Amino acid sequence: MKENLARIICCITIILVVAASGCVAPPKDNKSSTTGNFFNPGQTDSAATVTGTPNYVREVTAFPTETPTSGYRTIAPVTQIPQDKYCRIFSNTNTFSYNKTAVAFNLQNPPMYINYTVKPSNITRKIAYTSKITGEGDKVLTVDTYSPYSWFEITVRNKLNPNEIYLQDGFGSAKGYNEYLNRTLKIVKRGDMQIEFYGNNITATYSVWVKPDGNLNDTTQINMTTECTYFDQNPRDFVQVGTTATPLVTWTG
């Protein structure tokens, strides 16, 4: 009995093993490795790896790349001609105390430039104030300003008709002038002129410049290297026939 039962169990085991092996299908070719891709299974590998230019465009020669400019350009220097050179015909340094000096010159080829530098007197004022910073208390501020009695004036008038004034300007609020320490005056009139220098409580250095051409008959006494120069035709600050502006003289050899 036991032997029959063992045989039955063995037969059942064999049947189950055979049945299980029959359910496993034989392996098939993995076509996904040779056709299509992850995003488009219908596309073949050969299409996915195609390189080159599509037929709806054509290859051409690229345009050359332009080198960007810096935005700056070099301006060629203006050629200066000897006829535009001005020579110093007069210069002086004087301390003024309500005194006046004058020179005369017959200007035939304008313009004439008058350049000056002044050293006014100063006054010192002390201003008391209370500091807003905690713990500092009262303080005293020392302020230096130009003396209101310090001024300098240049007058250019017609020597033949003294009432005809071509230009009058200078330094100092007492006279209604600005407080530029350096200035250049430009005279564009033609004729026999008297140039007057007047001031108070101030020291001034001043000089007169004209073109030799048409104005000076003898230039042998002038050192063209050290006593002549080119003036800026449009100085940053100058006075021309009474209009205000600032001095700029280009000193060259």
Give the 3-state secondary structure of residue 74.
coil
- Comparing 19-23, 100-104, 220-224, 236-240, the range with the smallest average pLDDT is 236-240
Distance CA 171, CA 145 (A): 14
Which residues have CB under 8 Å from 121's CB, separation 6+?
146, 147, 149, 150, 201, 202
Distance CA 45, CA 32 (A): 10
DSSP, res 83: G
Residue 60 has pLDDT above 90, yes or no: no
**DSSP H or E stretch at residue 127:** strand 122-130
**Ranked by mean pLDDT, which of 16-25, 31-40, 85-94, 132-141 comes out on top?**
85-94
Per-residue CA distances from 195 to 103, 156, 176, 209, 238 (Å): 5, 5, 20, 12, 17
Is the model more confident about 182 or about 246? 182
Residue range 186-229, pLDDT digits in tens: 999 999 999 999 999 999 999 999 999 889 888 777 787 778 88
- Residue 127: pLDDT band by 50, 70, 90 thresholds? confident
- Residue 245: pLDDT band by 50, 70, 90 thresholds? very low
- Residue 244: pLDDT band by 50, 70, 90 thresholds? very low
Distance CA 3, CA 135 (A): 119
With a pLDDT cut of 70, the percent of the chain lying above it is: 61
Residue range 61-115, pLDDT digits in tens: 777 776 666 666 666 655 666 567 899 999 999 999 999 999 999 999 999 999 9
Q: Which two tokens stand for residue 188?
A: 């564009």
Which residues have CB under 8 Å from 29's CB, separation 6+?
none
Tokens 């049945």 sit at which residue? 19
Average pLDDT over residues 157-173: 94
Residue 180 has pLDDT above 80, yes or no: yes
Q: Full-prediction pTM beyond 0.85?
A: no
CATH code for the domain defined by 82-116+149-250:
2.60.120
Hey, where are the domains in the chain?
82-116+149-250
CA dihedral 232, 114, 248, 214 (to 10 degrees): 10
- Comparing 163-177, 181-195, 221-235, the range with the smallest average pLDDT is 221-235
For the chain, the average pLDDT equals: 76
The pLDDT, as a whole number, for residue 151 is 97
Residue 251 has pLDDT above 50, yes or no: no
The pLDDT, as a whole number, for residue 27 is 55
Distance CA 159, CA 15 (A): 147
